[in-house]
Amino acid sequence: MHVVLWRFRVRPGREPEFEAAYAPAGSWAALFARDPAYRGSDLMRATDGTYLTLDRWDSKEAYEAFRARHAEEYDAIDGKCDALIEDEAPLGAVDV
């Protein structure tokens, strides 16, 4: 399994909207779920107030193929979420 990790610092007061978009049943997960290689997402709030997301895929290749096929839709959701986020950073990926 391939797990993609991100860290987010959310704009104050926008946490409910962020959580709705990034939750396991949110808009990102709805997009990802269109691919049979997607295995789910987790959203966690760290003790410092930042958020972590973990998106699980069958493989790195499956994730990259999804991103290539759905780049336009991915970018559209990303653009809508920009207003919610002060900072985001990819933390990398791990194969487990």
Residues 6-46: tens digit of each pLDDT: 999 999 999 999 999 999 999 999 999 999 999 999 999 99
Domains and CATH numbers, the chain: 2-95 (3.30.70.100)
Which residues sit opposite 55 in a β-bridge?
Answer: 4, 41
Contact 46, 52 (CB under 8 A): yes
Rounded Cα–Cα distance for residues 51 and 8 (Å):
5
Q: Global pTM? A: 0.93
The pLDDT tens digits of the residues spanning 57-78 come to: 999 999 999 999 999 999 999 9
Task: Tell me the H-state helices in 6-70.
Answer: 15-22, 27-32, 60-69
Q: What gap in Å lies between CA 85 and CA 26, rounded to an integer? A: 16
Q: What's residue 51's pLDDT?
A: 98
